[in-house]
Structure 1
Amino acid sequence: MRMRLYYHDKLFDGTQKDKTNATSAAVANSTKLAPNSQFGMLVVFNDPITKDDNYHSPPIANAQGFYFYDRKDTNSAWFAYTLVFNSSEHRGTLNIMGADLMPEKTRDLSVVGGTGDFFMARGIVTLQTDTFQGAYYFRLKMDIKLYECY
């Protein structure tokens, strides 16, 4: 099974006046250790997943989980999240985790399980940064390839 989906993240860091559209929040931020990086920042999210790159398209799933920046010399994060599907096309979850080496054009994360339509799924999610707007919005293109799905 293959899918191409788009992951939208709008970060609330505690300083913006309008927090109503935020889909993620920095819950720990120790960037003083490395002022030129995000090292130490932990972000918890509930981000919409769409079939196209339009943030306002109806979501077919939500990505629920966290990422933290784990390098001082470059932007790099470690992700752990669940795609929660609730649409007419798919029901169930996909569990995804791995390193997001942001300077690379594409990055692979592991599909480590699932439920419902994706029971015991295994595979790869290839991430590609589709857009990045300042420090508060980014969109990832996710190419999902499932090799085992019962």
Structure 2
Amino acid sequence: MQGLSMMKQQQLSSLLVAVAAVLLLGLAGAAHGGGRKKLIVSRSEDEPCKKMTVYYHDILYSGNNTANATSAAVTKPAAALSLSHWKNGTFFGLLVVFDDLVTEEQALSSEPVARAQGFYFYDKKEQYNAWMAFSLVFNSTAYTGTLNLMGADLMYEKTRDISVVGGTGDFFMSRGVATLSLVAYEGTVYFRLKMDIKLYECYVAA
């Protein structure tokens, strides 16, 4: 009887361990979007596993647009190094932090799809040039999670690419390229970028 009781205790312990393992695996899956996922890697530049086009709106704080501003300069340009190549200089050394609206259509008033949260700074003395790093934070019926982007914004080029280096949620561990192009601006206070995002590594539900 005692041996039988010990056997039952061992079986119960094994069952509890198995249940705990299943629960832990389930929690791990939920932590990166829920459920098991498999990796898809594109074989061709022309065949991304996921793509989208969105519009990024930046409204720089100018001193009198507190209600509408979505970005702000947190440093001053290095005056001695920011040459007068342009009327307003090149802003070399200026760092801007932003929490910008990202929309599905071009109009600022169109349906929001994400927020772009991060920073950019001007890093060239002779002409406008910037480097940026930010997250697209999605919270809609279409997508949840983040995409993390970074790279050189070569502003003198009509289009420029920056890297998609990772993500969370619906974009768990995604990698790819975002092609940026300037489609509108108003002086130095507002600009709108078109962002063509192509992902070449995607995790999808298994």
The bucket for the TM-score relative to the shorter chain is over 0.9
Alignment match of 1:139 (pick from 164, 189, 192) = 192
Tell which structure's C-alpha radius of gyration is larger: 2
CA distance in 1, matches of 2:51, 2:156: 25
Structure with more of its chain in strand, by fraction: 1
**Where does 1:48-59 land on structure 2 (aligned, <5 Å)?**
48-59=101-112
CA distance in 1, matches of 2:139, 2:52: 15
Per-residue CA deviations over 1:88-112 (Å, capped at 9, x if unaligned) read 0000000000000001000000000
CA distance in 2, matches of 1:58, 1:51: 6
Aligned residues with identical type, % of pairs: 58
The aligned amino acid for 2:53 is R
How many aligned positions are there? 148
The aligned amino acid for 2:70 is T
CA distance in 1, matches of 2:115, 2:105: 14
CA distance in 2, matches of 1:2, 1:8: 20
CA distance in 2, matches of 1:31, 1:139: 26
Q: CA deviation at 1:45?
A: 0.2
Is the Cα–Cα contact under 8 Å of residues 31 and 37 in structure 1 kept in the other structure? no
Q: TM-score, normalised by structure 1?
A: 0.96
Please provide the CA RMSD for this pair.
Answer: 0.9
Moved more, 120-129 or 51-60: 51-60
> Please, which runs of 5 or more residues in structure 1 have no aligned partner?
none
Moved more, 31-40 or 4-13: 31-40
Runs of 4 or more, structure 1, over 2 Å off, are none
1:9 matched to 2:62? The reply is no
